Chains A and B, each alone.
Chain A
Amino acid sequence: MGYIELNNVSFTYLLAKRPAMENVSLSIEKGKFYAILGANGSGKTTLCNIIRGFIPNFYEGEMTGEVMLEGKPLKDYSMEDLAPKMGYVFQNPFNQITGARDNVFEEIAYGLENFGVPVDEIQRRVERVMEMTNTAYLAEKNPFELSGGQQQRVALASILVLEPDILVIDEPTSQLDPKETERVFDIIRKMKETGKTIILVEHKIELVAEYADHVIVLENGKVIDFGEKHEVLSKLELQDHGIVLPQSVVLADKMRKQGMEIEPKLVTRDELKQELQRKYGR
């Protein structure tokens, strides 16, 4: 029994011709980091919404199958129970600025206010999260006047500050530079170390290969592959489905074709480097 279970879930948006999610079954373990891969429109965001319960609670459509959280159907949880348990960072940063507050510090504090957290604790938690997400220098700014990348970090901070057990994060680095992207992955790694379960949609494959534990690959609303990252990301045939594989996987394949003997399932640069040093290094 997984922490989160999807049993044969299908979903068709209202008025849509074909399902956005079809017969998806997944089992998600507590405290692990799952990356969702797939082309645009393959259903990544839809899957996130299903896991968070916004589908079918908020988006209209036909849903079959069942989602379970800690052995209890997700639909039996109230929004109130779910909000502190499962944090969700949306794809579009602009729409995540609530507009309820006119500076970044209070925007990040807003969720804590709603949950009735005492003011001195708010102060502590917001300051810590701002430090972590490199948003402290934006504290006094109006959240609407930030750049896309800054808004993206504020959106992430606004959820992190709630310290939910599960983090569902939809493309959080789409507008970030490499340095800030690395920072986000570093935050996620730290979150994982504190026992949080992470479900992340992300295109940057090298970082997924380095940080994630498991990978879910979607195509046209179906899961075409799901498993431990070394197993999934080393499958060259995924390239035929438009999935970009890590450089080391592609490189290792080329080297093998040149007759070099290289262990299978090396997905990060470091793993490949070590293997090469071991076999061919002086």
Chain B
Amino acid sequence: MTMTTTISPVAKADNGVNVSALLSARQALEQAPQAAQFKWRASCAWLNGTHSRSVIGNFFGLGAEQSRNKTFTVEADHPQVFASEDNAPTPVELVLSGLASCLTAGVAAVAQRRGIQLHSVKATLEADMDIQGILGMDDEVRNGFGAIRIHFDIQANATEDEIKALVAQSQKRSAVFDIITNPTSVFVTVN
């Protein structure tokens, strides 16, 4: 009997993503799909004016409550042109940041899986908004973004098409990209 050893593509690159752990998680979840049900949470308290602070801590997943050994805080406010104090980014900017971070994490993970060493990844985002919507001036204008444009500047050991494919695959598997491009039901209760 002969043995052949093949170098796994995962070993060729190190982007700091533990892809084999992700792959074994996928395998394990195939046996126990109910463990794939996650719940993400945040709480938000009003500070003053348009300034608020969200606290992010525990989440639910893999069939159990997952506690972190710390909590994170994220503040939001509005800029001075909206007569606010500009203590923190606006919520819509945080949405852009969420999208960028999700896609960037995806690029790193896909690159790792494909054995592509990343040197640098930079995403630049711009979103259009007609504020006649949020000001209630025109019912035909939506509140949210008209469009989002993202530019990725990526240096990596790969061809141009391979890099484009990383970004495309990252969009295909991105939670925030999905949240933004597809509708989601929102249910709000009070007190």
A binds B: no
Residues of A within 8 A of B (CB): none
Residues of B within 8 A of A (CB): none
